[in-house]
Amino acid sequence: MEGKGMVDFDAIRAEFPILDQSVYGHPLVYLDSAATAQKPQCVIDAEADFYRHDNAAVHRGAHELAARSTVAFERARASMARLVGACADEGGEEIVVTGGATAGLNLLATAFGNASLGRGGSAAARFALHPGDEIVVSKAEHHSVLLPFQELAARTGATLKWLDLDEEGRIRSDMADEVITERTRVVAVTHVANVTGAITNLAPIVRRAHAVGALVVLDACQSVPHLKVDVHALDVDFAVWSAHKMYGPTGVGFLYGRRELLEALPPANFGGSMVELAWMDRPAQYMAPPAKFEAGTQPVAQVVAAGAAAEWMMAIGMDAIATHEHEVAAELLKLGDVDGVSILGPCENRDRIGTVAFDVDGVHPHDVGQFIDAQGIAIRVGHHCAQPVHRHFGVYASNRASSGVYNSVADAQALVEAVSKVRAFFRV
């Protein structure tokens, strides 16, 4: 692991122009990176520079700009592949551009649905779901995982099952052998839960899923920005994440799929740039992945900027980022020591990231958030698109602080101090 002293995190923070501002007279403390991360200057520049110098349609046209933008687009794909340990070789690409993690999950659910209707032929039979088959998720899932697979189950007659949570809100990996059965075809689970910040113990889930021939879909939205992720080492079949949570632009995300699976999976979106031969009276012949899944004009400038974000993260080092945020997490967890405050999720700084959801007894999250905001500190309040996990804790909503690479221990201390004043202000 790289030594912490090697990286100057104050200098890294200074690369984010948006953080250099006051809110209500206080220096901005941004602790809402699980919702969306801020962007370093190099990412902002990458997008602007692309439009200033290279912009053209990719993978078509023979002019100089078309060539440059195609190279930039494919180079960004390769950067993203390296960030998560996927294959970046030409012809062996395992990274598909999507409109975001939600779009990636819907792409998969739609493609599995198409396979269930017989599309993609016998090669795609492994993705098909039939009545009696099972899809397994967890109770910690973001609605973006739960709903596309709940809908897929409804469309195919499959049954939706789920892994429960323990008292701390961790996914019960020990239930994998019981919940994942011979009828299970798909297991969709989060790598890091967006409310509790808990890192899922994936190994028992992946092992069991593969033992019964099920595919594993990983929601990596909250892990890729904060941890070293190696999709091959994790042995998952598919993974999705969004660029905007990893210091890149909005409107773009990525889908990892094992190459052989991407080759067998039928497409979900149809149109230009994904077809080799199209006829009026014969079935079309689709391109090889990743193009097969990238119908229509892609968000090229955003992909290029996302690639710059990936390179920027790798230059800092994912181990160094994880170590730094681990220290911020330790400070955030001191929220649990504040009178009347309870943490929804693991209280110990182990197998978790710096995403800490908490409840202030007697004060609604919306009021907590307003009070915290008045101190110039941005946190998220509400159900964070994960209602079932809140029901697990018996609450409607919560407050959530989430770290990014630019946060300091002092940021976390400022939050803890502000939270310690909340109950007095609201006279509870």
Region of 271 (left: φ > 0; alpha: ψ -120 to 50; beta: rest) is left
Strands (E), 263-379: 275-277, 285-286, 341-344, 355-360, 377-378
- For the bound state, the minimum distance from the C-beta of residue 251 to other proteins, rounded and expressed in Å, comes to 21
Site size toward other proteins, by CB under 8 A: 31
Q: Is 395 in the site for other proteins (CB under 8 A)?
A: yes
Pick the closer one to other proteins by CB: 270 or 425.
Answer: 425
427, 406, 403: which is closest to 7 by C-alpha?
Answer: 406
14, 35, 338, 374: which one binds other proteins (CB under 8 A): 374
Question: Among 87, 221, 347, 385, which one carries the catalytic annotation?
Answer: 385
- For the bound state, the minimum distance from the C-beta of residue 344 to other proteins, rounded and expressed in Å, comes to 12
Q: Is 371 in the site for other proteins (CB under 8 A)?
A: yes
| Residue 87 annotated to the active site | no
3, 5, 25, 131: which one binds other proteins (CB under 8 A): 25
57, 382, 413, 420: which one binds other proteins (CB under 8 A): 382
Q: Residue 8 pairs with which residues in a beta bridge?
A: none
Pick the closer one to other proteins by CB: 24 or 270.
Answer: 24
- For the bound state, the minimum distance from the C-beta of residue 408 to other proteins, rounded and expressed in Å, comes to 20
Pick the closer one to other proteins by CB: 26 or 183.
Answer: 26
Q: Is 394 in the site for other proteins (CB under 8 A)?
A: yes
Region of 286 (left: φ > 0; alpha: ψ -120 to 50; beta: rest) is beta
Q: Is 365 in the site for other proteins (CB under 8 A)?
A: yes
Q: Is 364 in the site for other proteins (CB under 8 A)?
A: yes
Pick the closer one to other proteins by CB: 149 or 371.
Answer: 371
Q: Residues near 169 by Cβ (< 8 Å), separated by ≥ 6? A: 140, 193, 195, 196, 198, 344, 345, 346, 389, 392, 393
Q: Is 417 in the site for other proteins (CB under 8 A)?
A: no
Q: Is 383 in the site for other proteins (CB under 8 A)?
A: yes
- For the bound state, the minimum distance from the C-beta of residue 70 to other proteins, rounded and expressed in Å, comes to 41
46, 58, 332, 397: which one binds other proteins (CB under 8 A): 397
Q: Is 143 in the site for other proteins (CB under 8 A)?
A: no
20, 396, 410, 417: which one binds other proteins (CB under 8 A): 396
Segment holding 219, helix H or strand E: strand 215-219
Q: How far is CA 221 from CA 7, 146, 216, 302, 303, in A?
A: 24, 14, 15, 17, 16
- For the bound state, the minimum distance from the C-beta of residue 34 to other proteins, rounded and expressed in Å, comes to 16
Pick the closer one to other proteins by CB: 26 or 59.
Answer: 26
Taking CB under 8 A as the binding criterion, the range among 50-58, 130-138, 144-152, 386-394 that sits at the site for other proteins is: 386-394
Strand-pair category, 159-163 with 134-138? parallel
Question: Look-up: residue for tokens 């919306």?
Answer: 366
Calpha distance 222→246 (Å, rounded): 9
Pick the closer one to other proteins by CB: 60 or 421.
Answer: 421
Beta carbons of 310 and 48 less than 8 angstroms apart: no
Taking CB under 8 A as the binding criterion, the range among 192-200, 285-293, 307-315, 380-388 that sits at the site for other proteins is: 380-388
Q: How far is CA 314 from CA 6, 12, 311, 380, 426, in A?
A: 14, 13, 5, 28, 44
- For the bound state, the minimum distance from the C-beta of residue 377 to other proteins, rounded and expressed in Å, comes to 11
- For the bound state, the minimum distance from the C-beta of residue 25 to other proteins, rounded and expressed in Å, comes to 3
3-state secondary structure of 39: coil
Neighbours of 61 (CB within 10 A): 13
Tokens standing for residue 245: 């949570």
Beta carbons of 255 and 108 less than 8 angstroms apart: yes
3-state secondary structure of 73: helix
Q: Residues near 93 by Cβ (< 8 Å), separated by ≥ 6? A: 77, 81, 87, 259, 289, 290
Q: Is 392 in the site for other proteins (CB under 8 A)?
A: yes
Task: Name the site residues for other proteins (rule: CB under 8 A).
Answer: 24-26, 363-367, 370-371, 374-376, 381-383, 387-388, 390-392, 394-397, 421, 424-428
The residues annotated as belonging to the active site are 385
